[in-house]
Amino acid sequence: MAAQREKARREDHEVALLFEAPGIRDIFELNLADRVLRLSALESSVGTLLVGGSTAVAWEDVRHVTGGQSVDGHKAGTAVMTSGNRELVGYHGRDALVSLRHVRELRRAIFINRSSSAMGVRLYSGESVALPPAADGTQMVLLLHRIGNVLELRAEPIPHDWSDLQIWQEFDFSMTHRAPTTAYGR
């Protein structure tokens, strides 16, 4: 218990060292002018973060296990399962979900939007923010980083014609694959 308290104290100190960033109530759209927002510790840990309009997602947990999934169900890498036997990041229908109850297992995630409509992020509290659709050969991807006990959402512009693989490589995501298990039960 003392180790957990010390870890929480360190994470609170990390957050205190961060530069000022607007909250989700301060801006309505992440774009080239307003590229970052930071959720509070409470917003970062309660409920589910829902990303509507994304067509692909990639994630990395604190052990550097990475995976990816498209809205069509195609998967790459390794799924990160929570202690509740649910995926930490994944799709439910056409919406990407991040389980905030287990957010301390998440290191980062990236959400890609290949559609012609905007991408939106909604919290359990009902607060939301949007990312614009692709325009002038540029699209915005949403980066979600956990820093200490808070989540930071960042919009990053990339060329619209890049493949998902190129985007993953640009942000240093390399898919983790589990070693095959043997037929011998050791």
What is the structure's pLDDT at 145?
Answer: 95
Average model confidence (pLDDT) across the chain: 89
Taking only the tens place, the pLDDT of each residue in 28-64 is 999 999 999 999 989 999 999 999 999 999 999 999 9
Q: Which residues have CB under 8 Å from 171's CB, separation 6+?
A: 58, 110, 141, 143, 156
- Answer yes or no: is pLDDT of 17 > 80: no
pLDDT band with cut points at 50, 70 and 90 for residue 113: very high
59 with 88: CB under 8 angstroms?
Answer: yes
Q: What is the pLDDT of residue 162?
A: 94
Nearest by Cα to 123 from 57, 53, 48, 35: 48
H/E run at residue 3:
helix 2-16
pLDDT band at 16 (very low <50, low <70, confident <90, very high): low
For residue 97, list its beta bridge partners.
Answer: 50, 90
Q: What is the DSSP letter of 31?
A: S
pLDDT at residue 186 tops 70: no
